[in-house]
Structure 1
């Protein structure tokens, strides 16, 4: 049975790293640049560096771990609810998918991801749902790597704190005016907000 979003979840925190795979932040560096320079996706670099809470704010002289082999030296840590990384990731997805949509549409997009986490038909975590192959266009085109805006962050927190009913159990959403695949047309519509049609 799927866990609820608010229950305790196990996350892996990377606490130790080989100095051979550590990079010292220099003037002009960004996490995106460091990821590109080390042939990593930004999401992978973020996972290697859970000590960096804000991917858009790093300090000169800070150590950034850059090698996936570091994942073998891990220690389990118990955290309540979702990690800051997952909350930020969801906010970035909301920005990419719904930046020109009404605020309620942003909340509804966040709810779709949370509904999937609760559904037996989808993965168990926000990160796994977002990165499930072929599910979200921003993952494929790189828009997921752009920072979230204030409205998207607010919408995610609202979705996590009692506004799940906005999306009425929806597991999908799309813009029928630009969709290249029509398979969602046959599914039941739960609501329409702005240009997005939400489906169950």
Structure 2
């Protein structure tokens, strides 16, 4: 897993580039009163762990007016692809379900049982219906994009879901035998 994260980190570019900092190598954020590392991570699409490492912090404590370095995240194209998948897979589902769908893809990237990139996980065989029916090519809305950033901030802290399905739309017994981690809206998440 460390090898995957090192490769992803080396190849990644910041989520917002110039919109939040001087340049890609020196993106910074001035902490506002009431912000947390999690909220900042969700804004930029980076994990709390990455924020702590980039700023040499051993705790979650931050102070108003403190300047934090924002580490590189996944590429903008990967975020957009993941948001389009979330849009297609979780349209009409609760926001938490959208975050959970994005988290499944990220968990797969981090797992030795799946490909090492967001693109390759999404396009692996017949894993996701929107890839097969073309819905993956439709634009993502703001909620889907926000859900991706939140999933990135939450990365590695969830229940380890690697699958999700709508029991009303599939009779796949293999999926139904997986350990259920959570049910959100019409989706059952499992590992």
Sort the TM-score into its range (normalised by shorter chain): 0.5 to 0.7
Q: How far apart, CA to CA, are the structure 2 residues paired with 1:163 and 1:194?
A: 21
Q: Quote the RMSD (CA, aligned, Å).
A: 2.1
Contact 1:5 1:117 in 2 (8 A): no
> What's the offset of the Cα at 1:182?
2.6
| Match in the other structure for 1:81 | 73
| Match in the other structure for 1:146 | 138
- Deviation digits for residues 66-93 of structure 1 (CA, Å, limit 9, x no counterpart): xxxxxxxxxxxxx943110000000000
Contact 2:106 2:155 in 1 (8 A): no
| Equivalent position to 1:134, from 126, 131, 135 | 126
| Match in the other structure for 1:179 | 170
Normalization by structure 2: what TM-score?
Answer: 0.64
| Match in the other structure for 1:196 | 187
The answer to which structure has the higher strand fraction is 1
Q: How far apart, CA to CA, are the structure 2 residues paired with 1:144 and 1:5?
A: 28
**Over 6 Å off, 4+ runs:** none
> What's the offset of the Cα at 1:116?
0.2
- Deviation digits for residues 142-182 of structure 1 (CA, Å, limit 9, x no counterpart): 0000000110000000010136534x100000001111423
Which protein shows a greater Rg?
1
Normalization by structure 1: what TM-score?
Answer: 0.61
| Match in the other structure for 2:90 | 98
Q: How far apart, CA to CA, are the structure 2 residues paired with 1:6 and 1:104?
A: 29
The answer to which structure has the higher helix fraction is 2
* Runs of 5+ consecutive residues of structure 2 not aligned to the other structure: 13-70
* Runs of 5+ consecutive residues of structure 1 not aligned to the other structure: 12-78
The number of aligned residues is 132
Q: How far apart, CA to CA, are the structure 2 residues paired with 1:93 and 1:139?
A: 8
| Match in the other structure for 2:10 | 9
